């Protein structure tokens, strides 16, 4: 495998649109494996509404899971660590995305707190590690999205802990840095979702989560996607074949609100159980418009869900 720099035409387009409230007919189905004593996060789903994500056990070790026909199965990379968190970093496995063939992208932290990623295909874990990231504690690669062609997007951090997005295609890694992305510890570009047309959703982060900006990268052009309600910014994390985008926006208190974007309309979708907590996040959307995500309650506990929208977000 080799590394090459992105040959992306940096043309920035600002997308503006109106924001509306979601339908009261939204259906949130909670997805919480019983072993998830310290919380569950649902990250993605396939066309059959099989949901993948992660949970933290009684020892705060993270484990991947798949939810199929109401049953949970744990999926852990065999190289994942099983120790306690250090500086807020948990050892263990997270599953981030699943494509139409059941291929799964994920990441694990090993016992040395190094981050490594993988594709799980037909029961085999194949490493996905951008060579531009040092192999050191608290460094590494996070594979966040995969399409049916097997193209993968994610991010890595460099020697200075600046975050860079990447796309892995035909055995090569291409770095993606959004226009005006900050450079510094935990700042930079996170590439999170990719659809079958090769459209990529990504976001930038300035400082320790102080401000986010969302982008769509399509045909070599970056387009800003920022919900007008997002005082502290917008994060975009999933995009389906129809180009519908999901993520969240942050209010002045740092509380997140689930967001769906289509045809210039931003629709807010909050889990009703998130009241008094840190908010709702929408992570991935499938071809039918069903969404995986989670909310954080008033006790700072995460709860995964499958969201079935009460209306077509493109029909406003």
What total of structural domains would you count in the chain? 1
Contact present, 201 and 187 (Cβ < 8 Å): no
- Nearest partner of 32 among 61, 80, 65, judged by Cα: 65
For residue 266, pLDDT beyond 50: yes
* Distance, CA of 89 to CA of 137 (rounded, Å): 10
Contact present, 117 and 105 (Cβ < 8 Å): yes
What's 123's domain CATH number?
A: 2.120.10
Give the number of other CB atoms < 10 A from CB of residue 178.
24
Instruction: Please tell me the predicted confidence (pLDDT) of residue 143.
Output: 98
For residue 36, pLDDT beyond 80: yes
Range of the domain at 290: 2-308
For residue 245, pLDDT beyond 60: yes
Tokens of 219: 């045909």
pTM for the full predicted model:
0.92
Query: pLDDT tier at 12 (50, 70, 90 boundaries)?
Result: low
Would 145 be classed as within a structural domain? yes
Instruction: Please tell me the predicted confidence (pLDDT) of residue 21.
Output: 60
For residue 173, pLDDT beyond 70: yes
Would 297 be classed as within a structural domain? yes
Would 315 be classed as within a structural domain? no
Tokens of 123: 């029961």
Query: pLDDT tier at 292 (50, 70, 90 boundaries)?
Result: very high
Would 124 be classed as within a structural domain? yes
Query: If you write DSSP's letter for every residue of the chain in order, what string do you get?
Result: -EEEE------EEEE--EEEEPPTT-EEEEE--TT-TT-EEEEEE-TT--EEEEEE-TT--EEEEEEETTEEEEE--TT---S--BTTBPPEEEEEEE-TT--EEEEEE-TT--EEEEEEETTEEEEE--TTS-SSTT-EEEEEEE-TT--EEEEEE-TT--EEEEEEETTEEEEE--TT---STT-EEEEEEE-TT--EEEEEEETTTTEEEEEEEETTEEEEE--TT-TTBEEEEEE-TT--EEEEEE-TTS-EEEEEEETTEEEE---GGGTTSSEEEEEEE-TTS-EEEEEE-TTS-EEEEEEE-SS-TT--
Would 136 be classed as within a structural domain? yes
For residue 6, pLDDT beyond 60: no
Question: What percent of the chain stands above pLDDT 90?
Answer: 86
Mean confidence (pLDDT) of the chain: 92
For residue 178, pLDDT beyond 60: yes
Q: State mean pLDDT over 145-157.
A: 98
Instruction: Please tell me the predicted confidence (pLDDT) of residue 2.
Output: 40
Length in residues, the chain: 316
Instruction: Please tell me the predicted confidence (pLDDT) of residue 302.
Output: 98
Burial class (CB in 10 A: 0-12, 13-18, 19+), 97: buried
Query: pLDDT tier at 316 (50, 70, 90 boundaries)?
Result: low
Location of structure tokens 């917008």: 234
Phi and psi (nearest 5°) for 272? -60, -20
Residue pLDDT, tens place only, 53-84? 999 999 999 999 999 999 999 999 999 999 99
CA 253 to chain centre: 22
């Amino acid at each position: 495998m080799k590394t090459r720099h992105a040959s992306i035409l940096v043309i920035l387009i600002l997308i503006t649109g109106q924001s509306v409230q979601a339908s009261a007919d939204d259906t949130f189905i909670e997805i919480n494996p019983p072993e998830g004593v310290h919380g569950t996060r649902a990250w993605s789903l396939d066309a059959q509404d099989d949901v993948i994500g992660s949970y933290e056990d009684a020892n705060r070790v993270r484990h991947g899971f798949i939810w199929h026909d109401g049953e949970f199965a744990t999926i852990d990379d065999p190289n994942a660590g099983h120790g306690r968190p250090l500086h807020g970093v948990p050892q263990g496995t997270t599953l981030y995305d699943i494509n139409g063939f059941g291929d799964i992208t994920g990441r694990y932290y090993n016992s040395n707190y190094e981050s490594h990623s993988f594709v799980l295909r037909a029961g085999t874990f194949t490493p996905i590690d951008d060579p531009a990231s040092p192999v050191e504690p608290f460094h590494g690669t996070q594979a966040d999205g995969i399409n049916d062609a097997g193209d993968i997007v994610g991010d890595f951090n460099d020697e200075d802990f600046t975050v860079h997005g990447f796309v892995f295609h035909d055995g090569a890694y291409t770095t993606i840095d959004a226009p005006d992305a900050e450079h510094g510890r935990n700042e930079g570009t996170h590439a999170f979702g990719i659809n079958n047309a090769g459209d990529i959703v990504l976001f930038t982060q300035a400082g320790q989560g102080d401000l986010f900006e969302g982008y769509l990268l399509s045909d070599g052009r970056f387009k800003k996607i920022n919900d007008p309600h997002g005082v502290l910014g917008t994060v975009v994390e999933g995009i389906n074949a129809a180009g519908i985008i999901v993520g969240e926006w942050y209010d002045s208190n740092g509380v997140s609100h689930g967001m769906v974007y289509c045809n210039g309309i931003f629709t807010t979708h909050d889990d009703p159980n998130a009241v008094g907590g840190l908010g709702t996040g929408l992570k991935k959307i499938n071809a039918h418009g069903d969404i995986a995500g989670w909310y954080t309650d008033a006790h700072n506990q995460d709860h995964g869900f499958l969201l079935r929208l009460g209306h077509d977000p493109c029909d406003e």
